[in-house]
Amino acid sequence: MADDTTGQSRRTILGGMTFGGMTGSLFAAGAAQAAPGTQDQVPPNPVTEYPRPPFARQQQPWPGLASLMNPPPDHGETSYRGSGRLLGRKALITGGDSGIGRAAAIAYAREGADVAINYLPAEESDAQEVAALIRAAGRKAVALPGDLRSEEFCTKLVTDAAANLDGLDIVVSNAARQVWQPSIEKISTQQFDDTFKTNVYAMFWILRAAAPLLKPGSAIIATASVNAYEPSRGLLDYAATKGAIMIFVKALAKQMAERGVRVNAVAPGPIWTPLQPSGGQPPEALSEFGADTPMQRPGQPAELAPLYVLLASHEATFTTGQVFGAAGGRGGP
Report pLDDT digits (tens) over 45-69.
999 999 999 999 999 999 999 999 9
CA angle 260, 264, 267 (to 5 degrees): 175
Other beta carbons within 10 angstroms of residue 2's beta carbon come to: 20
pLDDT for the residue 22? 36
CB of 237 within 8 A of CB of 197? no
Residue 150 inside a domain? The answer is: yes
165 compared with 28, residue with greater pLDDT? 165
H or E element that contains 266: strand 262-268
What mean pLDDT comes out for the span 162-172? Answer: 98
Lowest model confidence (mean pLDDT) among 39-43, 96-100, 230-234: 39-43
DSSP character at residue 65: -
CB of 25 within 8 A of CB of 322? no
Residue 1 has pLDDT above 50, yes or no: no
pLDDT for the residue 35? 45
pLDDT tier, 41 (very low <50, low <70, confident <90, very high otherwise): confident
Residue 26 inside a domain? The answer is: no
Residue 130 inside a domain? The answer is: yes
Counting residues of the chain whose pLDDT is more than 90, the rounded percentage is 82
Which residues constitute the domain of residue 102?
83-326
18 compared with 311, residue with greater pLDDT? 311
- Dist CA 139 CA 104 (whole Å): 14
pLDDT for the residue 19? 33
pLDDT for the residue 38? 53
pLDDT for the residue 333? 66
Lowest model confidence (mean pLDDT) among 6-15, 60-69, 91-100, 192-201: 6-15
Residue 8 has pLDDT above 80, yes or no: no
Q: Quick check: is 238 catalytic? A: yes
pLDDT for the residue 276? 92
Residue 183 has pLDDT above 90, yes or no: yes
pLDDT for the residue 318? 97
40 compared with 6, residue with greater pLDDT? 40
What mean pLDDT comes out for the span 257-282? Answer: 94
pLDDT for the residue 40? 76
pLDDT for the residue 248? 98
Residue 113 inside a domain? The answer is: yes
Residue 67 inside a domain? The answer is: no
What CATH number has the domain bearing residue 263? 3.40.50.720
Residue 298 has pLDDT above 70, yes or no: yes
pLDDT for the residue 74? 94
192 compared with 43, residue with greater pLDDT? 192
Residue 13 inside a domain? The answer is: no
pLDDT for the residue 25? 32
CA angle 144, 146, 152 (to 5 degrees): 105
pLDDT for the residue 42? 85
Check 108, 119, 238, 308 and give the catalytic one.
Answer: 238
CB of 222 within 8 A of CB of 241? no
pLDDT for the residue 250? 98
Strands of 161-223, DSSP E: 170-173, 219-223
Domain count of the fold of the chain: 1
DSSP character at residue 219: E
Residue 256 inside a domain? The answer is: yes
Mean pLDDT of the chain: 89
Residue 68 inside a domain? The answer is: no
pLDDT tier, 330 (very low <50, low <70, confident <90, very high otherwise): confident
What mean pLDDT comes out for the span 232-247? Answer: 97
Residues 6+ away with beta carbon under 8 Å from 127: 96, 97, 117, 119, 143, 145
